[in-house]
Amino acid sequence: MEHITTSRTAMALLVVAAFIYAFGIAFAIGGYAALTPTTFGTALGLLHAAGWLRAVGWAAALAAVCIAGRELLLRGAWASACEVGAGALGALLITIGMLINATSAESNPASSVVSAVGVGVWALLALSRAARRSLTGQESVSETPTAMPREGMLWLLAAVGLFILAIGSSLTPDFISKGTGVAAGAVEAVGVAILFGALAAARAQGRLPSRATPVTLAGLAILAAAFAVAAGVSGAVFGPNATLAGLRTGVLIVVVIEMGAVVVLGLAAWMRVREAVTLPRIAVSLR
């Protein structure tokens, strides 16, 4: 899966995906800001456009994963290509879930379930990588008793975070029932926080030397904050007595924070593109 982050074309497409998704969030911000009794139709139109742009953003991310897999196939790296292919399946399911949401007049539970299955596929990939790395670590320990197999545990931690994120993604928040919104936001925040911890530990061990890693960590931290705020907003303004003004203000706060996370993660992808361009030039100049 790491080939996706080292492929210049794939990372460039991920930058495009982040831009389109952020553009969709901008439409959502406009839609919620225009959510008043007199401009209800305009708000729904903007939110509908936001759903389609988010789906297109995920389609671009799917294309990025597919291109990375194609590059591996051309190199004859069949095992890695199969792993990336499974990652593409997860991205495809998330894209389908986003399309279901974009074509629905209101929140559709099927969208959340399909997207959650896609995240679950990524969790299974991380779990598989954890098992393989743990076996490799055991072999190194048997040869060198002082060796510390840590990479397998980091992948296991990432798998746990993704599984928890999948559980939270399967829940469909409802403006009438505040409990579902609180649970979804809280569970997703925990999942992203665990992912943050896994990446931070890997960075501390020197496994992720890229300068894009701290930016990625910042994006994940903002995303976890967005989910946590979503849980708080759900508990504060959702429910049978919810007011339009309260919903507009609360959801706007969540969406703005989410946009910040997407922008920062897109910046991290752009930094990886720059590294993929500059590192080969440095290598050539040193010859």
The two tokens of residue 122 are: 């990524």
Q: Residue 94's pLDDT band (boundaries 50, 70, 90)? A: very high
Q: What is the pLDDT of residue 280?
A: 46
Stretch (H or E) spanning 261: helix 244-286
Tokens of 224: 């976890």
Q: Report the interhelical angle of 8-33 vs 40-75 (nearest 10°).
A: 170
Render pLDDT for 43-88 as a digit per residue (tens, 0 to 9): 889 999 999 999 999 999 999 999 999 999 988 888 888 889 999 9
Among residues of the chain, what percentage have pLDDT more than 70? 90
Place of tokens 């040193």: 286
Q: What is the pLDDT of residue 279?
A: 46
Q: Categorize the per-residue pLDDT at 1 as very low, low, confident or very high, splitting at 50, 70 and 90.
A: low
At 5, which helix (H) or strand (E)?
helix 2-6
Q: Per residue in 195-239, pLDDT tens?
A: 999 999 999 988 888 899 999 999 999 999 999 999 999 888 887
Name the residue with higher pLDDT: 121 or 4: 121
Backbone angles phi, psi at 107, to 5 degrees: -55, 125
Q: Could you report the per-residue pLDDT of 243-278, keeping only the tens digit for each?
A: 888 888 889 999 999 999 999 999 999 999 988 766
Residue-level pLDDT at 139: 43
Q: For residue 242, is pLDDT > 50?
A: yes
Contacts of residue 211, defined as CB under 8 A and 6 or more positions apart, other chains included, come to: 271, 275
At residue 277, the pLDDT reads 67
Q: Is 171 helix (H, G, I), strand (E, B) or coil?
A: coil
CA pair distance 17, 68, nearest whole angstrom: 15
Residue 114 makes CB contacts below 8 A (sequence gap 6+) with 93, 94, 96, 97, 100
- Beta strands (DSSP E) in 134-204 are none
Structure tokens at 199: 């990446």
Rounded to two decimals, the pTM is: 0.88
CA separation for the pair 203, 276 (Å, rounded): 19
Q: How far apart are CA 10 and CA 219, in angstroms?
A: 19
Report how far residue 114's alpha carbon sits from residue 94's, in angstroms, rounded to the nearest whole number: 6
